Amino acid sequence: MPVPAQITNFKCPSCTGPLRYDGESGRVVCDYCGGSFPVQEIEALYHDKIEDAQQAAAAATASAAQQGAAEQDWGWNAVSDDWGAAGADMRAYTCPSCGAELICDSTTVATQCPYCGNPTVVPSQFDGSLKPDYILPFRLDKEAAVKALTEFYRDKKLLPKAFASANQIEKIQGVYVPFWLFSGTAEVDMSFAATRSMTHREGDRIITETDHFQLRRAGNVDFERIPVDGSRRMPDAHMDAIEPFDYSALKPFSPGYLPGFLANKFDVEQDECARRADERAARTAEQVVAATANGGFATCVPTGKSIRLRRGEVRYALLPVWMLSTRWNDQNFLFAMNGQTGRLIGDLPVSKRRYWGYFAGIALPVAGALAALLYFFL
């Protein structure tokens, strides 16, 4: 059973056309009438509607609990009968603009009605403890992402020619991806066995004198906001590879930045993500402290280490990512672009013909030239 008034459409105050956040201007714009509004103005305008939607969602959940379905929230009931097990993680909403039924993922925070095209926000997904601390608004638009992908193909010598020319972008979507930002301190205490050698000659003897040292280095390494994506749907490798983000542009969360983009809430808990942040911090801390011991010694071998991590504040933020997917030879290729910095990554297919062509093109001349050199000069 779809639940009305639990989602909010962002419509132009002038013409009721769909709004979208424009990263270049930093304002919310209407493509129909050309209206342009500050984010704060849209947020203030929709503040009451968002609160109403959050209250309606809370009331629906309470009602479902009273009916003895406490373990099942309102959305689950609405789709599970028809969708079977797949419906367990689905929610059904009614679009306030056109009345169409929207089937969304249980983590969806913002989406778009496929019928009327209105940007739609699910306020209950950022209510109370679910509210992100920060949002990093998109700075680059869809055109920039398409251009970046074309550039990305350009200098890849092993890319099959048909991939770049024939392949079409199947889907391109700006997504606010939920990230946990971990701050903290790594306390490192390391010991090393190091040597320093001097060699001199006395007649027909070569004398090597080696000084042996026991080194100890201990110190703290502070980290700020190590990002770990809190969405199972997003591949960790893709999300890691588009780092870093420029945190100086972080804003306190406002739904005014969401129109025109998808947004998900986290579905990987903070504790689960903390493990990855800890591993990354420990590795860097060890490298940094070890680097202070290497100078001036011929050899320096770690003999012991102790790394203690003190976690500081943990923040929840939505960070901007353009996801692009293409299909070629019955294979899907997924690319991700940092919506702020424009860094684009993704795995590309390798043309075997080109690979072996380059291999032979390098191996044969090198071997031939070397053989000629050896035969003529040795």
Partner 1 sequence: MKRKFALSLLLLMLLSLALPLCAHAASGGSLGYVTDSAGLLTDEQRAELEDMAAGISEKYRCGVYIVTTQDYTEFGRGSIESCAEEIYDRYLIGFGETGDGILFLVSMADRDYDLDAHGSFGNYAFSSRNRDLLVDAFAPCFRGNDWYNGFRAYLVTAEQLLVPAVEGYPAYLEQLRERQAGQQKLLSGAKGVGSVLIGLLTAGGVCGGMKRRMKTAVEKDDADDYMTPTSPHMKIVQDHFINRTRTVQVVQQENRDSGGHSGGGFSGHSHTSGKF
Distance of closest approach, residue 20 Cβ to partner 1, in angstroms:
28
Q: Which is nearer to partner 1, 24 or 224 (CB)?
A: 224
Distance of closest approach, residue 265 Cβ to partner 1, in angstroms:
23
Query: Cα(309)–Cα(278) distance, rounded to whole angstroms?
Result: 7
Distance of closest approach, residue 221 Cβ to partner 1, in angstroms:
5
The string over 146-166, giving b where at least 16 C-beta atoms fall within 10 Å of a residue's C-beta and e elsewhere, is eebbeebeeeeeebbeebbee
Distance of closest approach, residue 165 Cβ to partner 1, in angstroms:
17
Query: Cα(281)–Cα(287) distance, rounded to whole angstroms?
Result: 10
Q: Which is nearer to partner 1, 5 or 345 (CB)?
A: 345
Q: Which is nearer to partner 1, 12 or 277 (CB)?
A: 277
Yes or no: say if 152 and 241 are a contact pair by the CB < 8 Å rule.
no
Helix or strand (DSSP H, E) at 28: strand 27-30
Q: Which is nearer to partner 1, 85 or 207 (CB)?
A: 207
Query: Cα(182)–Cα(311) distance, rounded to whole angstroms?
Result: 7
Q: Which is nearer to partner 1, 129 or 248 (CB)?
A: 248
Yes or no: say if 42 and 112 are a contact pair by the CB < 8 Å rule.
no
Distance of closest approach, residue 67 Cβ to partner 1, in angstroms:
45
Nearest to 127 by CA among 7, 251, 269, 3: 7
Distance of closest approach, residue 294 Cβ to partner 1, in angstroms:
12
Helix residue ranges, H only, 7-141: 39-66, 74-83
Yes or no: say if 106 and 34 are a contact pair by the CB < 8 Å rule.
no
Query: Cα(140)–Cα(147) distance, rounded to whole angstroms?
Result: 11
Q: Which is nearer to partner 1, 36 or 303 (CB)?
A: 303
